[in-house]
Structure 1
Amino acid sequence: MAQSLEQALADFSPGLPFAVAFSGGADSTALLLACALRWPGQVRAVHIHHGLQAAADGFEAHCRALCAQLGVPLAVRRVQAGHAPGQSPEDAARLARYRALAEAVQSEWPDVGDVALAQHADDQVETLLLALSRGAGLPGLASMPSRAERLGLRWHRPLLGVPGRDLRAWLQMRGQAWVDDPTNTDEQFTRNRIRARLLPALAEALPAFRETFARSAAHAAQAQEVLDEVAQQDLTVVGVPPDIRALQQLSSARQALVLRHWLRRHHQTTPSTAQLNELIRQIRACTTRGHRLHLKVGSGHVTRQGGRLHWQ
């Protein structure tokens, strides 16, 4: 069964004080209000002003008014994220938003180490369906983790078991207004098409899909944790940077696993399946000292220097 907002917060144990990422939409409004009621005086809020639409100033004004009403300190950061070639505008905006959230929390409230995000059960389903549509592996199918550490902070998603409609009903019961982002209904974005077209069909055909999809994502996340442990053990053996001969002693599947782990952990880049397959093929062919290797991988290139792989 889906969680209620109250049940979700009962299972949520952030370090105090903590911050809430507050857009002004229904989801983050419900999270902020519920947290402020449960932990009075211990909640901070950060609003990211993207400047991408005329309504953005109104979003900020709404957030300022509600935080003043609740007695919640608010920090506002303005972000205009350009995207690199081959990067989607949505990904660029998301990365810029996380950096701005982290900067705001760490500069405004040095005693805050935890940030709560308002993604809910429908967001998790959309993320899983997007991953499936892209042919993602286990990391993608694991969808959004309920907890993660990055940029020097602990990030929490306490509402992943709560349907979005329940959050809006909870706000309506309290007479609490929120702002609606008009881009959320723009079906040129794949996520919005999933929300508008697929979720209603799934609800009709598979009424429990939110819970069962979330369970599948959790199974994928658990399996990925095991694979990460194996990859780290293999990386300890092949070294950093990886030794080619040591890599050749592993199966192709373990080569793929350890190479992804090396690139993600040490260079913050992710290879495509085609790039990784070609890299493994080249590693297999490295049987002479004169074999050269220079491949586009992720956002850079993997080269051979002596008996080891390097990324630049």
Structure 2
Amino acid sequence: MTRSFEQAMAMFEPALPLAVAYSGGADSTALLVACARQWPGQVVAVHVHHGLQAAGDDFERHCRAFCDRLQVPLVVQKVDARHAPGQSPEAAARHARYQAIDALALHGRAAIQTIAIAQHADDQVETLLLALSRGAGLPGLSAMAAQWQRAGLTYCRPLLQVSSRAIRDWLQAQGVRFIDDPSNVDERFTRNRIRARLLPVLQACFPQFRDTFTRSSRHAAQAQAVLQEVAAEDLTRVGAPPDIKALQALSQPRLANVLRHWLLSVHLVTPTSAQLAALMVQIAACRTRGHQMHLKVGQGFCVRRGGVLDWYNPRPLSPSSTPSCP
């Protein structure tokens, strides 16, 4: 269920020292202030300058001045977050942010144990609705994880059960100033249209939608965890690269599950639904020595090599083609 800002922070117990991803906006400002008060001397702020807006330099100046007043060290990471053709602008910016934070934590501040990110309950609902609009499977419907490991660090989202309104109410009560990023109301971005048009309707029709949607995402995440365990067991049995005859012995749902797991865990590839369906048809048809396979999957190709299924990429993976962060 949704919590107050104070309740969420009381339950947050990160390993220290802690870095807070700080944009200067309301959510990250509230998280930074609360963490700095709770763990004085153990918190550093990380501001990523995306290089996408003319106001980016103003955001950086605001963050520097605010951190000086708060007596919290600030590290600014400048990145080029422009998106490649066919890539989502939001995904490109997110990928650049995580890379910058990883680099800081691993090389600039090696003692950092935890990275805190201020995404909240409304962000979680928007993520779920985006996943539904794209026909996502369980990984997408699981929305955002409250905690995960990346590059040897623990990432946390302590505010996932706190509404945006509750965060702003807390800031107002504290008399703390923040900046509003104008891109957050630009309805050219699907997420912003959801925020501006759908969330008010959901609030009117289903006042508890944040709780119920979040519960559905937790159920999806639990189911996905079970599928991951089954896929790992099946991959151990069929091998990596997988034996084609062993794959043919699996039911269709387990075959799809283990293929996704193999491609992602071994090759960092996520097949489309059409690619996966075509691959499964070819596996079923592969009954003779002369049967060949050469199917486009992700940025590379699935091929038959003797009795096993293999994947190769004729070109090295680019950073933008790696899996997105949770």
Question: How far off its partner does 1:299 sit?
Answer: 2.5
1:12 corresponds to = 12
SS at the partner of 2:19? Answer: strand
CA distance in 2, matches of 1:86, 1:32: 34
SS at the partner of 1:63? Answer: helix
SS at the partner of 2:91? Answer: helix
> Does the 8 A contact of 1:126 with 1:194 survive in 2?
yes
2:210 corresponds to = 210
CA distance in 2, matches of 1:88, 1:18: 30
Give CA deviations for 1:218-264 in whole Å, capped at 9, x if unaligned. Answer: 11101111110000000100111111111111011101101111111
Give CA deviations for 1:151-210 in whole Å, capped at 9, x if unaligned. Answer: 221110010000001111111111111111111111111100000000000000000000
1:80 corresponds to = 80
Question: How far off its partner does 1:113 sit?
Answer: 2.2
What is the identity, as a one-letter code, of the residue corresponding to 2:11? Answer: D
In the superposition, the TM-score normalised over structure 1's length comes to: 0.98
Q: Any residues of structure 2 matched to 1:19-38 within 5 Å, and which?
A: 19-38=19-38
Q: Any residues of structure 2 matched to 1:1-312 within 5 Å, and which?
A: 1-312=1-312
CA distance in 1, matches of 2:138, 2:279: 20
Q: Which runs of 5+ in 1 are unaligned?
A: none
Give CA deviations for 1:64-94 in whole Å, capped at 9, x if unaligned. Answer: 1111112211111111124344321221221
SS at the partner of 2:145? Answer: coil
Question: Would you say how many aligned residue pairs link Structure 1 and Structure 2?
Answer: 312
Question: How far off its partner does 1:2 sit?
Answer: 1.8
CA distance in 2, matches of 1:118, 1:100: 17
Residues 269 and 84 of structure 1: CA distance in aligned 2, closer, same or farther (over 3 Å): farther
Residues 181 and 264 of structure 1: CA distance in aligned 2, closer, same or farther (over 3 Å): same
Question: How far off its partner does 1:44 sit?
Answer: 1.1
Give CA deviations for 1:89-139 in whole Å, capped at 9, x if unaligned. Answer: 221221111011110122221111210111000000000000000010100
Q: Which runs of 5+ in 2 are unaligned?
A: 313-326
> Does the 8 A contact of 2:52 with 2:82 survive in 1?
no
In the superposition, the TM-score normalised over structure 2's length comes to: 0.93
> Does the 8 A contact of 2:51 with 2:81 survive in 1?
no
CA RMSD of aligned residues (A): 1.1
CA distance in 2, matches of 1:143, 1:83: 22
What is the identity, as a one-letter code, of the residue corresponding to 1:126? Answer: E
Residues 158 and 114 of structure 1: CA distance in aligned 2, closer, same or farther (over 3 Å): same
> Does the 8 A contact of 1:99 with 1:151 survive in 2?
no
CA distance in 2, matches of 1:232, 1:17: 34
> Does the 8 A contact of 2:49 with 2:56 survive in 1?
yes
Question: How far off its partner does 1:18 sit?
Answer: 1.1
